[in-house]
Structure 1
Amino acid sequence: MQRFTTFDFGLTGLAALFHQDWIHLGGVEQVVLAYLSVGEEPYADDDQKKEAAELERDAAALTSSPLSDDQVELLWVMATGGNYPFRHSETGRMFLERIRKACRQWVQTYGTIDADANPEWVSAQAASEVREAIDNTPLNLPDECRTYFDSDVQALRDALDRCAHSASADLAFRLLLRIHVANFIPVNGTSWESYTGIARRLSLGEDLLSSVEFLVD
């Protein structure tokens, strides 16, 4: 079974919109609605409805997972290259609820459809391969990451591993790829071989993988 898109999607697709100038779009809810925008059309097609469903599923998986709010925040800050710093009393789950609220608002207007599903994507084998990739990849963070990432790399590995183990291996793998891209973290040859194998197992599209390929040593 193929995915509805060859590009990134869900939370990791949304993370790309949190670039340096995202604040000009408005608040978090406005960024979500911009991400799900149907332009001037009065309706949404099935692919657009699936995008909303995937975003809601990713956010729900993290919300209900055993990950701490600090781990959720760490993953999101890294996935956005430091462009979404958590401030004041906002927690990771409060942030996720803002995303889910915007998704519900969109669905009320345009309707809903089930997210893609395949037993292979949630299999123990897939989770094992993703966790092994997280454990083995070097994750050599550039110095500029230290401006928003003040912990050790193991904390990042632990958050990704916990996501893969107890929330969604699919999401954890896409977060790993997104963190590479957002922070220009190199990918060595061995890790790239592992990544391409996992991407095939998870039926992730060629455009998602090609967005990471420029970082391969």
Structure 2
Amino acid sequence: MSRFTEFDFGVSWVMGFFHQDWIYDGDTAADVVANHLAKAVDVEEALAVRRDARSLGGLPSPTLEVLWGAGAQYMPALGPLGGGAEWTRTVVALCDVRLSADTDVRPLAGADVEDGTARLHAVVAEIEGARFLPAEVRAALTDCATHCTPDVAFRVLLRAVTCAPDASLSSGQYTRLEAIGSDLRYGEFVVDSVRYLVEQP
């Protein structure tokens, strides 16, 4: 059984909203998230985002700010939004609003609740091996993997890799990332999003 989508999902999907032209998708960061959630065909999108954001809720606000900043190309400053913790709570609330519009919302189940606990050490090893990421980003990702879920940390790692200006991956690294993604039952295009960074022989 695979996830509900072949593409990215959860908070890492939300991080992808904040690209160079994000302001055209809404007047504020919250508007951008709300608009994307409203347009999502599958209610599972909102459920997955809420699940991720709730799991992140136990992290300190500065750690959350590092994670959101690392996983987005152009994340607006979170200080004016109340900080990382308040922004993460805002994302949860936006999901609640979206889900309240549906009368028959079934909880996530099966592959969609795989948290990756069995792959914790492998995920942490790949975080530590991404030396092109700043030390504070690697530390925040490790905290996410150990105190939230390896699944969330791994997807945010993939986002951070795509946003890092000096990122490159060896074929061995990519093979390991693929193996983790397979174990976490990701769709075809989740780990594939970093394939273009693999160094050519």
TM-score, normalised to structure 2, is 0.88
1:35 corresponds to: 36
Query: What does residue 123 of structure 2 align with?
Result: 130
Q: Quote the RMSD (CA, aligned, Å).
A: 2.1
* Counterparts of 1:207 and 1:89, CA distance in 2: 31
Classify the secondary structure of the residue corresponding to 2:98. helix
2:4–2:112 CA contact under 8 A, matched in 1: no
Residue deviations 1:118-160 (CA, integer Å, cap 9, x gap):
499335421121111111233x25xxxxxxxxxxx22111110
Cα separation, partners in 2 of 1:76 and 1:92, compared to 1, 3 Å? same
SS of 2:38's equivalent in the other structure is coil
Shift in Å at residue 176 of structure 1?
A: 0.4
CA distance in 1, matches of 2:154, 2:79: 27
TM-score of the two chains, using structure 1 as the length reference: 0.82
Evaluate the alpha carbon distance shift between residue 129 and residue 120 of structure 1 in structure 2; reply closer, same or farther with a 3 A threshold. Answer: farther
Q: Name the counterpart of 2:102.
A: 110
1:92 corresponds in structure 2 to 84
The 2-side partners of 1:175 and 1:50 are apart by 19
Hey, what's the Cα distance between the residues in 2 that align with 1:34 and 1:59? 17
SS at match of 1:37: helix
Structure 2: gaps of 5 or more residues: none
Compared CA separation, residues 208 and 158, structure 1 to 2 (3 A):
same
The one-letter code of the counterpart of 2:137 is L
1:62 equivalent to 2:56? Answer yes
Q: Percent identity?
A: 27
For 2:186, the equivalent position in structure 1 comes to 204
Structure 1: runs of 5 or more not aligned = 142-152
Once the two structures are TM-superposed, the CA of residue 189 in structure 1 deviates from its matched residue by 2.0
* Segment drifting more, 2-11 vs 190-199: 190-199
Aligned partner of 2:30: which letter? Answer: E
2:138 to 157, 165, 171: 157
Q: Contact between 2:162 and 2:194, CA under 8 Å: does it hold in 1?
A: yes
SS at match of 1:81: coil
**8 Å contact 1:50–1:115 — kept in the other structure?**
yes
In structure 1, C-alpha distance between the alignment counterparts of 2:139 and 2:121, rounded to whole Å: 14
Question: Which of the numbers 64, 69, 77 marks the counterpart of 1:77?
Answer: 69
Give the conservation status (yes or no) of the 8 Å contact 2:6–2:189. yes
Matched residues, number:
196
Q: What do the CA deviations read for 1:86-122 (whole angstroms, capped 9, x no partner)?
A: 2337211100111111111111112422124449933
